[in-house]
Amino acid sequence: MIFESHAHYDDEAFDEDRDELLVSLKEHGIGTVINVGASLDSCKTTAELMEKYSFIYGAIGVHPSETGELNEENFEWLRSRCDLSKTVAVGEIGLDYHWPEPEPAVQKVWFERQLQMAREVKLPVIIHSREAAKDTLDIMQALHAEEIGGVIHCYSYTKETAREYLNMDYYFGIGGVVTFQNARKLKEAVEYIPMEKILLETDSPYLAPEPNRGRRNSSLNLPYVAEAVAQIKGISYDEVVEITEKNARNLFRLQRQHSHDRNIAIL
């Protein structure tokens, strides 16, 4: 079964058909989903999705573009959500310099605080880094993020930068962009990164792969991503699905069997 390592099913883009879509995933070969928080509100709705659907797990964190809403009081609330039994990561956190707000200084403060939070609660991190390659890597190295572990979501940098993250033993989230004709740099990175460090993701509802580019994305498009990775790596589609599922289960510490003590059913 395909493991969806990064989606935002709390997004309003799914308000009209969320339940229908999520219920259909299993019959389309999607076995497990990580729903990723991006704001305080989305962390609340992520917790609701985790509770409602047995196959959905959650990441709790505030996206760099939303860090302006953080203060000491709500940061404590955020930390408390990490104690939920189906919270498996802190994320998505990081730096995003594409937009001018919030200013980089604010983003850096809360990136560091959330990295430290992940260390304290002993969860891996899901890293968002856009147009901020050097600063992201500098902070992660300074805070010894290799001791925390995690995944670089929607990896978009060079294979040289990938080498730095491989040295920290990080995973790489590969999504729809790998299917784009002009994604030469990403395809070179995917060719370079060992299969044992690749996760499949969509970032739904964003970044739909070819042939659905520009439309609302969902986990139903993951086979296109898996096929692209298979072609780049010169292995079978089934091998990509099997290896990336194993990788995700290792990172997020999810077992295959039913876990009675945590009241979690894994499909």
Are 154 and 173 contacting, i.e. CB atoms less than 8 angstroms apart? Answer: yes
89 DSSP assignment: E
Q: What is the pLDDT of residues 183-193, one digit of tens each?
A: 999 999 999 99
Is residue 212 classed as helix, strand or coil in its secondary structure? coil
pLDDT tens, position by position, 23-43: 999 999 999 999 999 999 999
E strand residue ranges, the chain: 2-7, 30-36, 56-60, 87-96, 125-130, 150-152, 171-174, 198-200
**In whole angstroms, what is the distance from residue 153 CA to residue 6 CA?**
8
Domains with residue ranges and CATH for the chain: 2-252 (3.20.20.140)
Residue of 178, 185, 174, 173 lying closest to 213 (CA atoms): 178
pLDDT of 255: 79
For residues 58 and 47, the answer to whether their CB atoms sit within 8 Å is yes
Average pLDDT of adjacent 10-residue blocks, the chain of 267 residues = 98 98 98 98 98 98 97 97 97 96 97 98 98 97 98 94 97 98 95 98 98 97 98 98 98 68 35
Instruction: Report the helix count and the strand count for the chain, using DSSP H and E.
Output: 9, 8
What one-letter code names the amino acid at 232? I
- pTM > 0.85: yes
Cis amide linkage into residue 209, ω under 30° from 0:
no
Task: Read off the pLDDT of residues 56-99 as tens digits, 9 standing for 90 and up.
Answer: 999 999 999 999 999 999 999 999 999 999 999 999 999 999 99
